[in-house]
């Protein structure tokens, strides 16, 4: 299982987060809310919700399953 590291603010719908216990959580929806879009809430298919300020979202990282497109990009570098 090939993974890449993404910041919380880089996650998008369809990304599969690999938790430390190796469980998989597919991102289903991302809410951007609050004054000046100050907060993100990331929802997954397993019911996991991650609430992050924009500042925290830049600092927090997650292991995400690499897609075929991610593999191609790595080879191009």
What whole-number distance in Å separates Cα of residue 21 and Cα of residue 13?
A: 22
Q: So what's the pLDDT on residue 54? A: 86
Query: Quick check: 15 and 29 in contact, CB under 8 A?
Result: no
Boundaries of every domain in the chain: 3-76
pLDDT band at residue 26, thresholds of 50, 70 and 90? very high
pTM score, whole prediction:
0.80
Instruction: Assign a CATH topology to domain 3-76.
Output: SH3 type barrels. (2.30.30)
pLDDT band at residue 49, thresholds of 50, 70 and 90? very high
- Residue 14, pLDDT above cutoff 50: yes
- Residue 19, pLDDT above cutoff 90: yes
- Residue 55, pLDDT above cutoff 70: yes
């Amino acid at each position: 299982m090939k993974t890449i590291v993404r910041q919380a603010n880089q996650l998008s719908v369809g990304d599969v987060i690999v938790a430390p216990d190796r469980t998989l959580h597919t991102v289903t929806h991302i809410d951007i809310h609050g004054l000046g879009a100050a907060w993100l809430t990331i929802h997954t298919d397993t019911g996991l919700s991650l609430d992050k300020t924009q500042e925290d979202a830049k600092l927090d990282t997650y292991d995400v399953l690499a897609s075929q497109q991610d593999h191609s990009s790595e080879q191009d570098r």
